[in-house]
Structure formats: structure tokens, C-alpha cells
């Protein structure tokens, strides 16, 4: 509204209004003045209409009508009556108009004040809203932004941008292609291409990529983008960039821990199998790789004597050495516990694989020091060569494991190359394990008796009770084959106690039938002996079976007696019950003569290893020494594993009087043992 024009029109109108009562006295007013005032009023009405305030518009219209009447009065015939009517009408209309204008202006001013108050309130709320928005934007741990969807030029960036990425906010606005310029080169094409496609479709989207910060740090971002349509129909991009570097690093650590061992940093079993699959597919026609399965010998004793911390140090050092040896020629993995796997990508032949195994032996046997002690680690290694007929690489790992156990069973610290006979033996072992429980229920486990004789006249001096399994498919199976399988479960303890009870009942059955009484030698396993109530249970079985303990000899190994006060107490407890005690496999363990003197031992059984090498002068010296010590300590000496007549005569020459072995007979059922007792009387020892 042009307020000066309105003021002029209003002034003219007011001046004319106050001059109106004098008009009749001056006869007539100049027609030009009335026309000017009317024109001014009409122009003012046009401006007033722009106020869009109806009361003011009506009031001013009445005023214009009054002015029009005044103008018409100039063209009417003079008549006092007519003039008075016209004058009265004009005066009334103008008076009403002026009053209405005053009232309307007052109402307009009141409304205007309310509008101004409302606008000020809106402005205050907008300022508060802007402050609240700014606070929220700055509180977000991310970069809030707005940009042009065509050029990706930023039109708004929150202050967090400088703190998180190091670039000044001004640079975000002013640099052309700022966002694209600072995306990591490896992610640029993917991120920009995806964002362009989605933005053209005006679809909300998100993506993860890396940006290079001002200090050259690589920062991971999660980018949330949305397209917003403006009132003018144009589009704007807005979104938030969240820094997720720590999350990505955590994900990477989790991925690494899922595929690597935490202690050594080596790949784990799954990683080894994945690499093995790749190599196997590479050599599908003619496999050239080899897989090695390593197990650290006697590692449990390292953990038990030195603690797990030093055991872990040993494993870490072995892992370092293996990595150094293999290098880029394959992969080293920790399979769990004290087991390692080594994949050699290319081998020429089986001899090459075994030569590499020997290289591992030499490197790993190098001494290392921990906890103030010097250790020379050794490993048992199973080796398997790649096979084209292998459908699952897990089978190769299992075959290498089987070969490793074969090496450990034959001689620790050696390597064995897998062959199919090992698998057949393993399958037989698995079958035996599954048949154990049924065998116990069907009573297939029996006690056989191997004769112990006087070497001079071959008369029976006693029997050693040995467990046998009369398997329905495999026939007679020795304890050496089925007990390792049984000991892996609780079934082993059950079988050993069953053998003890059968032996005691057989001893009771033979009591009084032969004179002198038959002596029975009964093996006690380390696992059985370690049970806390072993002595009490033996006493219970004696009473239950009614056996005389004076004719029973319990055979224990040197490992049971090694520096163990609890074991010594148990041995004295057994002696108090009336049992005799024999030290089995003497000469190959760690017992000392001083320790032997302190134990309540009645019989020494010389290990068969010395008998097999009796032709060696060293073995003869040791056998003669053991026999002499036994005689001096009042202990009976028995030689084990006699298989030839020459060995028998040589032992007699060395002073050994009693022995056992296949030369005199294998273990037989109780009925056959009775026939032997009947044919050959038992000598009095």
C-alpha cells in the first residue's frame, strides 16, 4: 500500500468535510474541487481494498458515496428544499463514513497489533526451533548435510564435519566435487555410481564407504541419503554421514578371530580346510600337495609342571618356527590344543614330504627356555599326500590325524606317511568302540591266563591274568587293542574292574585244589590305581569273592610309583590286605634304586625290551644288575617276553630263574590253564 497517497486523500477528504457546512452559505463550491476530492477518495478506496479488511472497506465506500452526492449536487437545479435534502444526505453519509472509518481504523489497529504480536510469537518460536534444530544437528555424532542432486554441491553442512574429517566447513561449500574428490579411490566408483542412480529415482538409500580425512586417515562412513521435494517442485538431497570406523575395525577383528587362532595368530582349522579345498581344486587332475598333522609330545606334562602361561609360550614359539620354515610355500594352522596343521602347496614325491617332515623335526627340536628351564620340544607328525579320488578334504585331514597317532604309538618324535592300512585299522577301531557296550552286556570279555614258569625245569610258577575280547566277527582281541578304545570313555574303568572280579573268582575256584596254591598276577592300570577309594574297593571285592590275597600279585607300573606319597600310602594299604606287589616293565621307566628300596615291592618284572636285545652286552649287564638288586632286596625277579630257547638259556646264565613269554605258551582260558596245572605241578617258590 502507498501510504503517502492514502494520507493525502484522507487529508483532502477531512478538509472538504469540515468545509461542508459553509457550502450552502457560499452558494456553491467549485465543481473541480469536488471532482478532485471524489477522485482522491476513489483512489484511496482502491488502496484500502488491499488491506483486505471488510469493515474499513465498507466505511470508506460510504464516504465515497457522500462525495459522489456532493458532486451531483453541483449539477442539480437550485431549490432550497432539494439543496437541503442533498446537503443533509451528503453530510449524513460522510458523517457515518467518517465514524465508520474511525471505528474501522481502531479495529484495524487492534487487529494489526494482534497480528504483529502473533508474528513476533511466530518469530520467537522459529528462532527457538532454529536453535533446537541447530542443537540437535550439532548433537548428532555425524555430519548432517544438504546438497544439490545434480552437482552434489553442499548447501548445508553441520559443524561436526570439521571435527570428524578435519576439513573446514567452508571447503565443503566452495570446493567443486568435494565429496567425490575425497572418497577413497577404491570405493569412489562404487559409491558415486550407486548414489547417482538412487538419487535420480528419488529413492532413500544408504551405503558404506571410506573417505580420506584431512590428516590422511582412512575413515569408514555409513551414509544415509534422502530426496526431498521443495515447494517450487525442485529436489534436494539431504542426509547424515555416520563415522563407523570402530565398528568396521571390530568387524575385522571378529572376522579375523573367526578364522585365526587367538594365541598364535595362525589360521585355524576352518581356514586350513578352505585353503586345502582351493589347492585340491587347483590340482584336480594330479594333486601335488601334502598335508602334515603335528602333535606336540608330552605337552600335558609341560602344562602341568610349568603352568599354562609357559605352555602357551612354547606353542607360540613353535608356531613362529613353523611359519618361518613354511613361508610362502604353504600354510601353517593351529588345529586346537597342541595340534598344528601344515599344508605344503607343492611336493615332488613321498620322499620329499618325509624330508620336509624331518626338517620340521630338526627346527622344532631346537632348545628353548621358559620359566628358567631348557626345553627341547618334539612332535609326532602324520603325513598325507593329495589324492585325486578324494571328494572331501576333511577326509585328508582325518587321514593325516590317523597317521600322526600311528607315529605317536610307534615312537614319539617321528613321522608316518598315511596308507590305506591305517584307515582300515582306524575303521576297525571305530567298530570296536561301537561294539564295546554290547560286548559287555553279552559277556564277551573274558580273563585268560598266561603261564609263568621256572626257566630251569619249565614247571608252572603261576599265571598272569590278561583280558581278552571274544568278538563275534573279529575273533579273539587282545587288551592292547581294545583297552585304548575303552579308556577313552567310562567303559575302560568298567572293564578293568570286571577283569579284577573275574580273576578273584577264579582264584577262589582254584583255592585248595592245588598244592601249593596257584599264584595269579593281576595288572592294575594307572587310571584304576588313581581312584581315591581303590584300596577300599579291592578289599570289598576280596570279601565278595572270598579270595585269599596271599596268592594274588598286583602288577603296577613305574609311573604309578614316581614321587607320589599318595601312591605309596595305597601300596602299603594293599600290603596290609595281604596282596603281594610286583613292579611291571622295570628298567624302562623313571624309578631309581633309592625309590625301589622305599616301596613295599615283592616282585620285579624285567621289561621285554631287554630280553629281545639279550645278545647285546649292555642288556646283559642291566639284566644281571637287576637280578642282583632283587636278590639283595629279597625280591623275586621275573623276565618278560621270552620267545626263543636261546633267550631262556641266556637268562639262566645271568641268574634269572623265572620267566614268561610265548615260548612257554600264550594266554589261554581257565579250563586250559587247569590242564596245564594238572600236567605240570606248581613248584614251591
Residue 35 lies in a domain: yes
User: Do 392 and 355 sit in the same domain of this protein?
Assistant: yes
* pLDDT for residue 392: 85
**Sign of the torsion angle spanned by Cα atoms 411, 413, 419, 424:** positive
Using the 8-state DSSP alphabet, how is residue 233 labeled?
Answer: S
Q: Which DSSP state fits 472?
A: T
Do the bridges between strand 580-586 and strand 552-557 make them parallel or antiparallel, or are there none, so unpaired? parallel
Q: What is the pLDDT of residue 530?
A: 84
Answer yes or no: are the C-beta atoms of 453 and 649 closer than 8 Å. Answer: no
Q: Characterize the bridge pairing of strands 373-375 and 368-370.
A: antiparallel
Q: What sign results for the dihedral spanned by CA atoms 192, 197, 202, 207? A: negative
In this structure, is residue 591 part of a structural domain? yes
pLDDT (0 to 100) of residue 436: 84
Looking at the fold, whether 614 and 568 belong to one and the same domain comes out as: yes
In a domain, 375, yes or no: yes
What does the angle CA 622 – CA 665 – CA 553 come to, to the nearest 5 degrees?
60
According to the model, what pLDDT value does residue 81 have? 52
Q: Evaluate whether residue 327 is within a structural domain.
A: yes
Both 226 and 344 in one domain: the answer is no
Residues spanned by the domain of 77: 3-113
What CATH number should be reported for the domain holding residue 397?
A: 3.30.70.270
Are 536 and 500 in contact by the 8 Å Cβ rule? The answer is no
Spatial contact of 605 and 555, defined as CB atoms under 8 Å apart: yes
* Cα–Cα distance for residue pair 587/598, rounded to 1 Å: 17
486 close to 497: Cβ distance less than 8 angstroms: no
Rounded Cα distance between 483 and 476, Å, is 14
Listed as ranges, residues in the chain with pLDDT below 70 are 1-38, 41, 44-53, 55-57, 59-60, 62-63, 66-67, 69-104, 107-108, 139, 488, 562-564, 588-594, 680-685
431 is a domain residue: no
Burial 330-365 (b: 16+ CB within 10 A, else e): bbbbbbeebbbbbbbbebeeeeebbebbeebbeebe
Neighbours of 444 (CB within 10 A): 16
**Does a structural domain hold residue 231?**
yes
Question: Does residue 239 share a domain with residue 293?
Answer: no
Domain identity same for 387 and 492: no
Domain identity same for 496 and 569: yes
Query: Are 543 and 579 part of one and the same domain?
Result: yes
Is pTM beyond 0.75? Reply is no
User: Which pLDDT score, from 0 to 100, does residue 36 have?
Assistant: 67
| Residue appearing with cell numbers 584307515 | 423
Q: The CATH number of the domain where 159 resides is what?
A: 3.30.450.20
Q: Rounded to an integer, what distance in angstroms lies between the CA atom of residue 168 and that of residue 398?
A: 61
Regarding whether 373 and 283 lie in a shared domain, the answer is yes
Radius of gyration of the chain (CA): 55
Give domain status of residue 275, yes or no: yes
Q: Hey, which residues does 586 pair with through a beta bridge?
A: 606
Tally of domains in the chain: 4
How far, in Å, CA of 80 to CA of 83, rounded? 5
| CATH code of the domain containing 452 | 3.20.20.450
Please identify, among 418, 444, 476, the residue that sits at the C-terminal boundary of a domain. Answer: 418
Q: How far apart are the first and last CA of the chain?
A: 142
Between strands 445-454 and 658-659, the pairing is antiparallel
* Residue 400: predicted pLDDT: 92
How do strand 580-586 and strand 373-375 relate by DSSP bridges? unpaired
Residues in contact with 676: Cβ distance below 8 Å, sequence separation at least 6, in sequence order: 451, 460, 665, 668
Q: Mutual orientation of helices 350-364 and 308-326 as an angle, nearest 10°?
A: 140
The pLDDT score that the predictor gives to residue 343 is: 94
According to the model, what pLDDT value does residue 110 have? 79
Q: Say whether both 666 and 547 belong to one domain.
A: yes
465 shares its domain with 386: no
Judge if 206 and 240 occupy the same domain.
yes
Please report where in the chains the cell 580273563 appears, as a residue. Answer: 447
Q: Using CB atoms within 10 A of its CB, is residue 38 exposed (0-12), middle (13-18) or buried (19+)?
A: buried
Residue 684 inside a domain? The answer is no
Same domain, 200 and 276: no
What's the confidence (pLDDT) of residue 24? 46
If we measure between CA atoms, which residue out of 193, 203, 207 comes closest to residue 227? 203
Amino acid at each position: 500500500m502507498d501510504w503517502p497517497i492514502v494520507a493525502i486523500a484522507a487529508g483532502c477528504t477531512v478538509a472538504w468535510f469540515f468545509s461542508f457546512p459553509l457550502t450552502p452559505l457560499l452558494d456553491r463550491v467549485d465543481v473541480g474541487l469536488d471532482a478532485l476530492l471524489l477522485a482522491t477518495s476513489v483512489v484511496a478506496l482502491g488502496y484500502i481494498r488491499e488491506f483486505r479488511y471488510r469493515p474499513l472497506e465498507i466505511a470508506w465506500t460510504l464516504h465515497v458515496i457522500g462525495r459522489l452526492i456532493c458532486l451531483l449536487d453541483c449539477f442539480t437545479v437550485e431549490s432550497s428544499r432539494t439543496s437541503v435534502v442533498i446537503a443533509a444526505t451528503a453530510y449524513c453519509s460522510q458523517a457515518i463514513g467518517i465514524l465508520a472509518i474511525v471505528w474501522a481504523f481502531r479495529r484495524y489497529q487492534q487487529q494489526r497489533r494482534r497480528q504483529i504480536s502473533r508474528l513476533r510469537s511466530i518469530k520467537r518460536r522459529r528462532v527457538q526451533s532454529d536453535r533446537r534444530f541447530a542443537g540437535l544437528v550439532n548433537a548428532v555424532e555425524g555430519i548432517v548435510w544438504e546438497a544439490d542432486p545434480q552437482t552434489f554441491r553442499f548447501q548445508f553442512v553441520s559443524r561436526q564435519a570439521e571435527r570428524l574429517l578435519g576439513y573446514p566447513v567452508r571447503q565443503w561449500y566452495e570446493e567443486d566435487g568435494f565429496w567425490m574428490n575425497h572418497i577413497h579411490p577404491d570405493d569412489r566408483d562404487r559409491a558415486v555410481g550407486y548414489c547417482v542412480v538412487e538419487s535420480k529415482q528419488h529413492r532413500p538409500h544408504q551405503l558404506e564407504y571410506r573417505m580420506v580425512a584431512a590428516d590422511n586417515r582412512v575413515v569408514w562412513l555409513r551414509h544415509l541419503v534422502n530426496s526431498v521435494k521443495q515447494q517450487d517442485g525442485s529436489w534436494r538431497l539431504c542426509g547424515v554421514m555416520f563415522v563407523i570406523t570402530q565398528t568396521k575395525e571390530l568387524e575385522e577383528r571378529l572376522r579375523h578371530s573367526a578364522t585365526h587362532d587367538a594365541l598364535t595368530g595362525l589360521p585355524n582349522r576352518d581356514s586350513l580346510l578352505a585353503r586345502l579345498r582351493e589347492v585340491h581344486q587347483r590340482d584336480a587332475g594330479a594333486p601335488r600337495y601334502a598335508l602334515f598333522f603335528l602333535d606336540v609330545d608330552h605337552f600335558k606334562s609341560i602344562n602341568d609342571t610349568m603352568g599354562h602361561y609357559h605352555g602357551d609360550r612354547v606353542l607360540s614359539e613353535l608356531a613362529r618356527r613353523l611359519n618361518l620354515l613354511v613361508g610362502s610355500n604353504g600354510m601353517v594352522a593351529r588345529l586346537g590344543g597342541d595340534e598344528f596343521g601344515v599344508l605344503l602347496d607343492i611336493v615332488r614325491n613321498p620322499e620329499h614330504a618325509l624330508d620336509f617332515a624331518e626338517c620340521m623335526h630338526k627346527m622344532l627340536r631346537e632348545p628353548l627356555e621358559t620359566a628358567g628351564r631348557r626345553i627341547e620340544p618334539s612332535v609326532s607328525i602324520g603325513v598325507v599326500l593329495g589324492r585325486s579320488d578324494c571328494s572331501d578334504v576333511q577326509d585328508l585331514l582325518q587321514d593325516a590325524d590317523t597317521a600322526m597317532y600311528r607315529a605317536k604309538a610307534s615312537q614319539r618324535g617321528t613321522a608316518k606317511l598315511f596308507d590305506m592300512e591305517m584307515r582300515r585299522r582306524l575303521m576297525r577301531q571305530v567298530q570296536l568302540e561301537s561294539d564295546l557296550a554290547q560286548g559287555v552286556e553279552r559277556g564277551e570279555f573274558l580273563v585268560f591266563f598266561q603261564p609263568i614258569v621256572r626257566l630251569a625245569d619249565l614247571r608252572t610258577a603261576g599265571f598272569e591274568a590278561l583280558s581278552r575280547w571274544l568278538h563275534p566277527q573279529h575273533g579273539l582281541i587282545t587288551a592292547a587293542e581294545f583297552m585304548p578304545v575303552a579308556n577313552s570313555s567310562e567303559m575302560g574303568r568298567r572293564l578293568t574292574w570286571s577283569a579284577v572280579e573275574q580273576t578273584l573268582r577264579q582264584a577262589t575256584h582254584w583255592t585248595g585244589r592245588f598244592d601249593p596254591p596257584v599264584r595269579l598276577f593281576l595288572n592294575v592300570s594307572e587310571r584304576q590305581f588313581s581312584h581315591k577309594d581303590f584300596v577300599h574297593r579291592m578289599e570289598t571285592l576280596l570279601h565278595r569273592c572270598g579270595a585269599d590275597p596271599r596268592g594274588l600279585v598286583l602288577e603296577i607300573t613305574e609311573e604309578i610309583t614316581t614321587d607320589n606319597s599318595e601312591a605309596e600310602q595305597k601300596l602299603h594299604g594293599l600290603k596290609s590286605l595281604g596282596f603281594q606287589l610286583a613292579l611291571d616293565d622295570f628298567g624302562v621307566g623313571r624309578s631309581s634304586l633309592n625309590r625301589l628300596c622305599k616301596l613295599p615291592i615283592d616282585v620285579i618284572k624285567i621289561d621285554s625290551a631287554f630280553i629281545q636285545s639279550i645278545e647285546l652286552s649292555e642288556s646283559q649287564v642291566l639284566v644281571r644288575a637287576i637280578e642282583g638288586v632283587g636278590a639283595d632286596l629279597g625280591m623275586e625277579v621275573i623276565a618278560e617276553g621270552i620267545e626263543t630257547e636261546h633267550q631262556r638259556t641266556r637268562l639262566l646264565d645271568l641268574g634269572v630263574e623265572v620267566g614268561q613269554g610265548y615260548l612257554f605258551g600264550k594266554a589261554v582260558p581257565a579250563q586250559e590253564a587247569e590242564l596245564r596245572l594238572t600236567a605240570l605241578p606248581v613248584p614251591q617258590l
